[in-house]
């Protein structure tokens, strides 16, 4: 497995907007966004997330969601509801 390039995270507690992409864009990748091989999301309220534009998952309040290098990388992550406070952190590769 290739090693990662770096880490990225929310700079503070953030508040969701309906279906807004939270994975930052990156112009030199085929999909136009970073790809995280490790990713952790922490939610303060119950919410529904959509991972990689296909998998919909319900999270209880403070449940969170985490993947590591054994799981499918994340290149898209959206929260379906407005007003959910959250933060995230990830380790990424580009390419």
Q: Considering its fold, how many domains does the chain have in total?
A: 1
Q: Taking the complete model, does pTM exceed 0.75, yes or no?
A: yes
Would you list the DSSP string of 4-26?
A: P-EEEE-SS-EE--TT-B-SPB-
CA distances from 34 to 14, 44, 45, 49, 91 (A): 19, 24, 26, 18, 10
Each residue's pLDDT expressed in tens, for the chain with a length of 95 residues: 557 889 999 999 999 999 999 998 876 655 678 889 999 999 999 999 999 999 999 999 999 999 999 999 999 999 999 999 999 999 998 65
Residues 6+ apart with CB under 8 A from 55: none
**Does some domain include residue 40?**
yes
Considering the domain boundaries, does residue 65 fall inside one? yes
Show the domain range for 66.
Answer: 16-24+32-86
Q: For residue 93, is it within any domain?
A: no
């Amino acid at each position: 497995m290739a090693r990662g390039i770096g880490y990225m995270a929310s700079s503070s507690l953030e508040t969701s907007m309906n279906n807004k992409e939270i994975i930052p864009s990156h112009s030199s990748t085929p999909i136009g966004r970073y790809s995280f091989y490790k990713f952790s999301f922490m939610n303060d309220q119950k919410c529904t997330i959509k991972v990689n534009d296909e998998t919909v998952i319900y999270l209880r309040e403070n449940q969170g969601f985490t993947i590591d290098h054994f799981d499918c990388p994340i290149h898209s992550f959206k929260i379906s509801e407005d007003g959910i406070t959250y933060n995230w952190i990830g380790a990424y590769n580009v390419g």
